[in-house]
Structure 1
Amino acid sequence: MEEVATTMDFSPLTDAIASESYDKIADICDNLMLQVSAEGIVFQNDWPYAIHLLGHIYAGDINSARFLWKSIPIAIKESQPEIIAVWGIGQKLWTRDYAGVYEAVRSFNWSPQIHPFIAAFSDNNTKKMFQLLVAAYSTISVQDTALFLGMSEDEATTYVLQEGWILDSAARMLTVKKQTIVTEQKLDPSKLQRLTEYVFHLEH
């Protein structure tokens, strides 16, 4: 069994990481896992669980990430803190703790193998949050903007001013510049609802 496990071909996964095709990683890992299971190979200790988990989180499939997390043996979770750290990001997304997502990203010293993937996820998440803010608000405080984008207030202000937003320095409020491309996209109403609930929670 162990001898067979070492011949497992991870090249599709390695290639996807090398080419930064992060949106494909969850599917590649799922398919490899099915192939391994079908062949009866013992792979638990060698399986790239952290990357597999992050692949689902990157793709926005938190349900699949939760299912995978529950299937990982406790001994492996205990021996590989990076797996727990990745799931920490998934937990924050699951509970809609948007600011907490960035805290989870910054609070762990990621391995060289996974660090670029984490950085890409963080950047992608910031872009998604920005688009949600554009869709949901006409004005928003600098403080709330910083929380949603996972930045300091100065960084967040600089980021959105580059996108054409307008700052009222005295009131610390930002006027959102609407983008025509957003109105053409189908926005998930449930995401807007969750965003509204989160802001209500922040303000009360």
Structure 2
Amino acid sequence: MVILDINNLVQDLEKQELESSNGIATAQVYAQLLSIYLYQNDLCNAKFLWKRIPANIKTSNPELGHIWSVGKSLWMKDFPATYKALNAVNWPETVADIMSQVQAVVRSRAVDLISQAYSSITLETVSAMTGLSFDLCLNACKEKGWRFEPDSNIVYPVRQTPEPVVQTSSEDQLYKLTDFVSFLEN
């Protein structure tokens, strides 16, 4: 799913929830909305959504509980538990794509965290934080250009340099605004 599609989908799902009869949406709406909040790392909205889902819908639709177990693990910043919860279920097709995207984005955030926070880290810890087996983890580390010492089982991540943010000065912004206004007036 493209990010624009997800943003449109979340707006549509929120609208469906608000406009539903008695303020209670379908389980499918709740499941998709909850999984999208996890994808967006919007854990506060995910938690509030979980609290407002009626108990009878939670009990009659176990996939909601499974999605929330991923959310709880993310809330606690417990990467191994997150991957365990993600892989413990064959997700229904209504949320399967979103949950696979959740797994990919969580792994990407973990890799970014490792590259920014560690100068050296054990391969076991990298494996736990990325949810990859040792072999896949080692290959992924090598693809990133990270150095690995097999004797000590230590990985040396390469810090990613953030892209510089180009800021225009206030004078430049004022000039552009003035130029735009004069264009509109003429």
Does TM-score exceed 0.5, indicating one fold?
A: yes
- 1:28-80 deviation digits (Å, cap 9, x = unpaired): 3223323x05xx56653455111110111111111111111011111111110
1:110 to 87, 91, 106: 91
Deviation at 1:176, TM superposition (A): 0.9
Tell me, what secondary structure is at the counterpart of 2:93?
Answer: coil
State the partner residue of 2:148. 167
TM-score normalised according to structure 1 size = 0.73
Tell me the residue number matched to 2:13.
Answer: 29
C-alpha separation between the residues in 1 aligned to 2:152 and 2:68? 38
Q: Which deviates the most, 17-26 or 147-156?
A: 17-26
Equivalent residue runs for 1:122-141 within 5 Å:
122-141=103-122
1:71 alignment counterpart: 52
Instruction: Note the alpha carbon deviations across 1:72-126, whole angstroms, 9 max, x for none.
Output: 1111111101111100100001112111110000001111221111111101111
Identify unmatched segments of 5+ residues in structure 1. Answer: 1-16, 186-204
Change (3 A) 1:159 1:172: same
Name the SS of the counterpart of 1:170 in structure 2: coil
Match status 1:145 vs 2:126: yes
RMSD: 2.2
Q: Which residue of 1 aligns with 2:37?
A: 56
| 1:80 lines up with 2:61 in the alignment | yes
Deviation at 1:140, TM superposition (A): 0.6
Identical positions, percent: 24
- Contact 1:23–1:58 under 8 Å retained in 2: no
Which moves more between the two structures, 53-62 or 41-50?
41-50
Name the SS of the counterpart of 1:181 in structure 2.
Answer: coil
Structure 1 Cα separation of the partners of residues 91 and 116 of structure 2: 33
Greater Rg over alpha carbons, structure: 2
Letter in 1 for 2:14: D
Q: 2 CA distance for matches of 1:62 and 1:169?
A: 37
Q: CA 1:112/1:66 → structure 2, altered by over 3 Å: closer, same or farther?
A: same
Residue 91 of structure 1: aligned partner: 72
Alignment coverage as a number of residue pairs: 165
Question: Do the aligned partners of 2:122 and 2:154 also contact (CA within 8 Å) in 1?
Answer: yes
Change (3 A) 1:64 1:46: closer
TM-score (norm 2): 0.80
